[in-house]
Structure 1
Amino acid sequence: MRIGIDLGGTKTEGVVLGAGSRVLARRRVPTPPDDYDAALRIIVELVAQLEADVGRRGLPVGAGTPGARSKRSGRMKNCNSTCLNGRPLLEDLEARLGARVRIANDADCLTLSEAHDGAAAGARCVFGAILGTGVGGGIAVDGTLLSGPNAIAGEWGHNPLPWPRPEWDEVPGPLGWDGRYGSIEVWCCGPGLALDHERVNGVYLRGEEIVAAAAAGDAAAEATLQRWEDRLARAFASIINVLDPDVIVVGGGLSKIERLYRNVPQRWGSWVFSDSVDTRLVPALHGDASGVRGAAWLWPDPDA
């Protein structure tokens, strides 16, 4: 048995994963906003509750985080939950839990989960993409995460949107929280989809409202989704051109938009440097649970 923790911006979830990837216990609590010490406390409490649920103590813990641990300083970086940045999260968790702890980016955890026993099971090279409040990515090869010397493997969201279309005013593009204009994240995340619709039409709709309006025949909403799908196709094509993955698996709130799995592959062939594209685009099999399951999979062998 091992514990997985998914430290999100609004909720923190924990599971105990047993043999055969079976979930033996699950709990979810709200994440304290912008409070590092409070976040540590709820993780410690969650681990204690989960261990009590299964009657075991000292289980190894994997934690998915909205950022990465710097290999230079050992402190957190690139977290959109900014209270984590510059903090020694791994060491603090180890000290408070008295347990073996591993941490990884939340997109890495999704990728690991889906590569082991999800929508990309059996695939040699997997790119995992989170499309939600932000845009994240992770890479797994033969079921093993790639981290890289800078601990940023897969972070496609902070690259500029490729092959920008001047007719859609994509240059320089919106300003993101990272201080960059026109990144894949600011165009393709959930808020980016909503703001693009507002920018063009003067009406603010949430992503799910845009999808519903397009399905009901609203031409403006349909045009917004087509722009978003075209941007995703270009963004994924840039990944295929570099990594050539067998599978791209998508999680996050926008992964529920079913039409993207049909429409994006129809578009990305114009940008992929090949006469055919056999990469599969699929939704995460475990949905919202992929992140927390992948955190537990940071311990593929709990006895190691």
Structure 2
Amino acid sequence: MAPANQPDHPTGIDFGGSGIKAAAVDLETGDFASERVRVDTPQPATPDAVAEAMVELLAQLPDSGGPVGVTVPGVVRHGVVHSAANIDKAWIGTDADALFTRATGRDVHVVNDADAAGLAEVRYGAARGQRGLVIVTTLGTGIGSAMVHDGVLVPNSELGHLEIDGHNAESRAANSAREREELSWETWAKRLRRYYSTLEALFSPDLIVVGGGVSKHSDEFLPLIGIDTPLVPATLRNKAGIVGAALVAERELRD
């Protein structure tokens, strides 16, 4: 537990394919309230193995005593994981809230990883203060997405899986496609324009935030996309998952 004169900050845990990272988060500022700690993702990353890794991580954060939020790279409904495109298939149907709560002895809530990043960008990052509909996308191996309207998350949007021109959108527009096909920034930007113009036509968002590791090169491609909706790069980058997960944990505790 935290010392008596310090609040019990919520902890965010970001569960990724190669590593699981955690930190306590100060929700007043959106900054880490502890050092960030990391363990390797177990292989295979079964639910029980990941739960053991969570226990190990939390032991490295002895001063964090609040609720815990965990990102999961899959569809999450009411704490239950319903898809496992990039994680062990044993996750499908797993009540991850119950599993992690039981393993850690803490109040744990899971959230889709892109949704966590979206919440963090809206509260503290590139979309802070933006009213209306914000769509946050993460361009990586696939395309993650989060839709947030006036601060309220519409969960599990999975907009990377839209069918566009007969293709799963992320198969052509994700950063992995750019790398795999050795596309120039200009050629990739044309694919992104097709993708983002489709989001624009379907949802009429007020702002689109573009995240993922490639966002650090946003000057190379964002100006080339050329749609009417403002496009801005994400600002929290690799902090977003941890911060967003902590936000979810705190909201669940209040509700």
Identity of aligned residues (%): 31
* 1:247 alignment partner in structure 2: 207
Q: Counterparts of 1:88 and 1:23 in 2: how far apart (Å)?
A: 28
Return closer, same or farther for 1:303/1:64 CA change in 2, 3 Å cut-off: closer
State the 1:48 CA deviation.
2.6
Q: Counterparts of 1:194 and 1:101 in 2: how far apart (Å)?
A: 36
May I ask how many residue pairs the two structures share in their alignment? Answer: 240
Q: Which has the higher strand share?
A: 2
State the 1:90 CA deviation.
1.8
Q: Deviation above 6 Å: which 4+ runs of structure 1?
A: none
The answer (yes or no) to whether the contact 2:111–2:245 under 8 Å persists in 1 is yes
After TM superposition, the score normalised by the length of structure 1 is: 0.73
CA RMSD of aligned residues (A): 2.0
* 1:82 alignment partner in structure 2: 88
The answer (yes or no) to whether the contact 1:9–1:33 under 8 Å persists in 2 is no
1:67-216 matches, cutoff 5 A: 67-70=74-77, 74-83=80-89, 84-124=91-131, 125-147=133-155, 152-153=156-157, 155-161=158-164, 164=165, 182-197=167-182
Q: Counterparts of 1:20 and 1:159 in 2: how far apart (Å)?
A: 35
The answer (yes or no) to whether the contact 1:126–1:141 under 8 Å persists in 2 is yes
Return closer, same or farther for 1:297/1:48 CA change in 2, 3 Å cut-off: same
State the 1:302 CA deviation.
7.6
Q: Counterparts of 1:295 and 1:60 in 2: how far apart (Å)?
A: 10
Structure 2's unaligned 5+ residue stretches are 1-8
Report the structure number with the largest CA radius of gyration.
1
* 1:230 alignment partner in structure 2: 190
Residue 8 (structure 1) aligned with residue 19 (structure 2): no
State the 1:119 CA deviation.
0.6
After TM superposition, the score normalised by the length of structure 2 is: 0.86
Return closer, same or farther for 1:303/1:191 CA change in 2, 3 Å cut-off: closer
Residue 35 (structure 1) aligned with residue 45 (structure 2): yes
Structure 1's unaligned 5+ residue stretches are 165-171, 173-181, 198-220, 269-276
The answer (yes or no) to whether the contact 1:62–1:298 under 8 Å persists in 2 is yes
* 1:209 alignment partner in structure 2: none
Residue 283 (structure 1) aligned with residue 233 (structure 2): yes
